[in-house]
Amino acid sequence: QVQLVQSGAEVKKPGASVKVSCKASGYTFTSYGISWVRQAPGQGLEWMGWISAYNGNTNYAQKLQGRVTMTTDTSTSTAYMELRSLRSDDTAVYYCARDLRGYDFGYYYYMDVWGKGTTVTVSS
């Protein structure tokens, strides 16, 4: 079955970096994209960006430009999200999700399979 397995919880100090992995299985990795969404404690969902597993193209949320990098390793069907210069308000659960993007009667973009999430805690 289609599955996304994320790496384990992380605790980081302010100013450090974190890299979260997301290993896909059960489908052709390069036929879809991978999106990242985070959720701060008790808060709503925040879109972080996407990466095409086909060609590596990325689109990052303007708020995170310059601090986030999304990559993929097609040999292992794994996606990565690195966030640098961590601050306390980066404390959140980080989700990866398989995404579909394209055009029919309009532009469509959505996430149909989600990982279980990785908790990242930023604390001194």
Partner 1 sequence: QSVLTQPPSASGTPGQRVTISCSRGSSNIGSNYVYWYQQLPGTAPKLLIYRNNQRPSGVPDRFSGSKSGTSASLAISGLRSEDEADYYCAAWDDSLSGNYVFGTGTKVTVL
State both tokens at 61: 């949320």
How many CB atoms lie under 10 A from the CB of residue 114?
14
Q: Establish if 59 lies at the interface with partner 1 (CB under 8 A).
A: yes
Pick from 10, 47, 58, 71 the residue near partner 1 by CB under 8 A: 47
State both tokens at 66: 């310059």
Judged by CB under 8 A, the stretch of 21-29, 56-64, 67-75, 81-89 that binds partner 1 is 56-64
How many CB atoms lie under 10 A from the CB of residue 3?
13
Q: Select 115 or 122, whichever has its Cβ closest to partner 1.
A: 115
Q: Establish if 36 lies at the interface with partner 1 (CB under 8 A).
A: no
Is residue 56 left, alpha or beta, with left meaning phi > 0 and alpha meaning psi from -120 to 50?
left
DSSP 16: -
Q: Rule CB under 8 A: which of 14-33 touch partner 1? A: none
- Burial (0-12, 13-18, 19+ Cβ within 10 Å), 103: exposed
Pick from 8, 41, 62, 124 the residue near partner 1 by CB under 8 A: 62
CA distance 93 to 121: 9
Pick from 14, 25, 74, 108 the residue near partner 1 by CB under 8 A: 108
Minimal distance in Å, beta carbon 116 to partner 1? 6
Q: Applying CB under 8 A, which residues contact partner 1?
A: 35, 37, 44-47, 59, 61-63, 95, 97, 106-112, 114-117
